[in-house]
Amino acid sequence: MGPEIAPEGIDASTVSPARMYDYLLGGTHNFKVDQAAADYVLRFAPELRDLALENRKCLRRFVNFATSSGIRQFLDIGSGLPTAQNVHQIAQQALPDARTAYVDSDYTTLLHASALLSDDPNTVFVKADATRPRDILDHPDIQQLLNFDEPIAVLMIALLHFVPNGANPRTIVAEIMNATPKGSMLAITHATSDDIDPALNEFIKQMYTNSPAPLIMRSGQEIENIFGALPIAEGKLVDIGRWGVSEGETAELGRMRALFGYAIKD
């Protein structure tokens, strides 16, 4: 079998966290190198696939919650590759005029998203780095689509654990949210080192050492600190499989955990 043919500008020989995540979700926008990397991790941490799936479900529940609260605008930073039932699709089911701006730094994501979203005037995709908030906020496509005088739901789902401490995720969050008006929401999911097996934690760290985006496993307290002055709704972070579901439907993720929290700007 010959080498994989990738679209121009995409390196099919280098692992992409976005494409690995797409593979874990059952997507098709990934290459053998991404599949091999994900399969290697799954050998030692089979819970990773369940974690990815539950993270996606949590995102969908939050979008439904936001639209039920009257939010009509979404800024999804670190959106990853488009998959079925993405943010704009969920939002528009409840509010047909809902507007969604997707942001990701991965060029693969840009190519796929631009093709899939080209026919939707209420949706845009922007290639930008989350560590440079002004590039996001000042981007003409985002400025044209979103009204920063009306509430916006800012989504940072499975994003900030790829942002190193040196880039100061708390400052990134503050700069983005300072640009939004009262009534806006912030939702974060983040992998946590709390209650994780030390050997597994070390394995994951080593696995991502040579990745373009190393994974930073933070404690619950460190994740809370990222919210800064924004009070976390419901008073605490919760496991992603436990938020927004009835008690009998909560998901247990074994040795791996990710936390969810949201805030409403007052």
| Per-residue pLDDT in tens (0 to 9) along the chain, 266 residues | 344 655 555 667 777 777 888 888 888 778 898 899 889 888 877 888 888 888 999 999 999 999 999 999 999 999 887 666 789 999 999 999 999 999 998 777 777 777 667 788 999 999 999 999 999 999 999 999 999 999 999 999 999 998 999 999 999 999 999 999 999 999 999 999 898 878 877 777 777 666 666 788 899 999 999 999 999 999 999 999 899 987 766 666 566 789 999 999 99
- Phi then psi dihedrals of residue 47, to 5 deg: -65, -15
Within a domain: 233:
yes
- Would strands 185-191 and 258-264 be described as parallel, antiparallel, or unpaired? antiparallel
Number of domains in the chain: 1
pTM over 0.75: yes
DSSP character for 245? S
Q: Please name which of 199, 191, 186 lies closest in space to residue 218, comparing C-alpha atoms.
A: 191
Using CA atoms, how far residue 213 sits from 149, 162, 173, 191, in Å, is: 33, 6, 18, 14
Within a domain: 4:
no
29 and 108 Cβ atoms separated by less than 8 Å: yes
* Residue 161, domain CATH: 3.40.50.150
Within a domain: 8:
no
Within a domain: 9:
no
Q: Would you call 89 exposed, middle or buried from its count of C-beta atoms within 10 A (0-12, 13-18, 19+)?
A: middle
Find the domain containing 182 and state its range: 17-264
Using CA atoms, how far residue 25 sits from 62, 85, 217, in Å, is: 18, 12, 21
